[in-house]
């Protein structure tokens, strides 16, 4: 078994263990919320802090990376919206949920441990550049769309309310806090005390396994309930169209091999819980979002292995 195949199996086995723990009743599916909160609010911020303090980002080409990735996001989002509204006849608000589900990668709970396992610390440095921008960009787009369509046009949209909501969500987000704190400490050039470093390392080491297990529990809680055909279509967009677009753009822009490989693999990840949370905010498309996330995550055990083989063949 190749190291890449073994890592893919290891990552998705942890997700499967979480799902089985909920399926068999060993843990309540609702426990996934608490475990996920621990991963996102406690374990992952120190990992990002540690990365910002220690990393060397030379050659990561952030502007080209962001251009390639988010151009693919925009195109896939538009495709998901059109598939949901034109092919399956849903309204515009559900179309937004379809677009988000097609383009919103599970970059934190699944992406962080997956990229660490495949590409190591150097790959995680590249992922951190995406995390730092991915959350604010996708959050801003979601907030604007929610303000425009979530209230059915009954209230005027005030730009200050949109900006205030965006800033509050960004700067109170523990992952963004971890990134900014790490950058601030890096700029200060002050050494981390030994005790603080041990504490950060201990929490960071738990981030990957805990996040993957929590994701499996969440999938059991959400499950599949109808809307299978549109969910399959949106999953195909997420798992095939988006990574194909990113692959084309990183190749055209001539990104460094490691940066290009991380970008494609991140694009190939299934949708995360955020697409479902946005559907809950809109009060429409909840079943579609949860079904799509479940189907895409189950399929990703195979499709991510495919895209890993592709990027190794293309970029070495």
pLDDT tens-digit map of 189-229: 788 888 888 888 888 888 778 878 887 887 777 666 667 89
8 pLDDT band, cuts 50/70/90, is: confident
pLDDT of residue 246: 97
Can you tell me the distance from the alpha carbon of 177 to that of 156, in angstroms, rounded to the nearest whole number?
A: 32
The residue with greater pLDDT, 302 or 142, is 302
Kindly list the distances between the CA atom of residue 157 and the CA atoms of 4, 83, 137, 278, 283, in Å, as whole numbers in the listed order: 48, 27, 19, 18, 18
- Residue 55 above 90 pLDDT? no
pLDDT of residue 220: 74
69 pLDDT band, cuts 50/70/90, is: very high
233 pLDDT band, cuts 50/70/90, is: very high
Give per-residue burial for 259-293: e unless 16+ CB within 10 Å, then b: bbbbbbbbbbbbbbbbbbebbeebebbbbbbbbbb
What is the mean pLDDT of the segment spanning 10-28?
85
* Alpha helix segments (H runs only) across 24-90: 31-38, 44-54, 62-82
pTM of the model: 0.81
- Residue 156 above 60 pLDDT? no
Across the chain, which distance is largest between two alpha carbons, in Å? 59
pLDDT of residue 311: 95
What is the mean pLDDT of the segment spanning 111-117?
86
- Residue 144 above 80 pLDDT? no
- Residue 162 above 90 pLDDT? no
What is the mean pLDDT of the segment spanning 161-182?
75
94 pLDDT band, cuts 50/70/90, is: confident
pLDDT of residue 161: 67
Can you tell me the distance from the alpha carbon of 316 to that of 313, in angstroms, rounded to the nearest whole number?
A: 6
The residue with greater pLDDT, 55 or 130, is 130
What is the mean pLDDT of the segment spanning 95-122?
87
73 pLDDT band, cuts 50/70/90, is: very high
- Residue 149 above 70 pLDDT? no
Count how many residues are written for the chain: 316
The residue with greater pLDDT, 61 or 27, is 27
The residue with greater pLDDT, 39 or 236, is 236
pLDDT of residue 158: 61
The residue with greater pLDDT, 265 or 212, is 265
């Amino acid at each position: 078994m190749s190291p890449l195949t073994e890592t893919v199996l290891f990552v998705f086995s942890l997700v499967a263990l979480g799902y089985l723990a909920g399926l068999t009743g060993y843990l309540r599916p609702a426990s996934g919320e608490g475990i996920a909160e621990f991963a996102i609010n406690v374990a992952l911020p120190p990992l990002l802090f540690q990365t910002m303090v220690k990393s060397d980002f030379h050659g990561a080409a952030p502007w080209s990376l962001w251009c390639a990735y988010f151009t693919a996001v925009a195109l896939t989002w538009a495709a998901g919206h059109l598939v949901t509204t034109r092919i399956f006849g849903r309204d515009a608000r559900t179309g937004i949920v379809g677009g988000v589900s097609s383009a919103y990668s599970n970059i934190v709970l699944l992406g962080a441990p997956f990229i660490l396992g495949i590409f190591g610390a150097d790959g995680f440095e590249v992922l951190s550049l995406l995390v730092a921008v991915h959350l604010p960009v996708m959050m801003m787009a979601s907030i604007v769309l929610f303000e425009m369509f979530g209230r059915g046009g009954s209230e005027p949209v005030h730009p200050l309310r949109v900006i205030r909501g965006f800033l509050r969500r960004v700067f109170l987000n523990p992952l963004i806090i971890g990134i900014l704190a790490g950058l601030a400490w890096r700029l200060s050039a002050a050494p981390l005390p030994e005790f603080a470093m041990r504490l950060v390392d201990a929490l960071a080491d738990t981030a990957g396994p805990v996040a993957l297990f929590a994701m499996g529990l969440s999938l059991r809680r959400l499950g599949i309930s109808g809307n299978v055909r549109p969910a399959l279509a949106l999953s195909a967009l997420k798992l095939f169209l988006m990574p194909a677009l990113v692959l084309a753009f990183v190749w055209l822009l001539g990104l460094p091999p490691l940066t290009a490989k991380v970008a494609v693999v991140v694009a190939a990840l299934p949708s995360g819980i955020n697409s479902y949370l946005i559907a809950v905010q809109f009060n429409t498309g909840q079943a579609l979002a949860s079904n799509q996330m479940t189907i895409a995550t189950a399929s990703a055990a195979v499709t991510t292995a495919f895209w890993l083989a592709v990027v190794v063949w293309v970029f070495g």
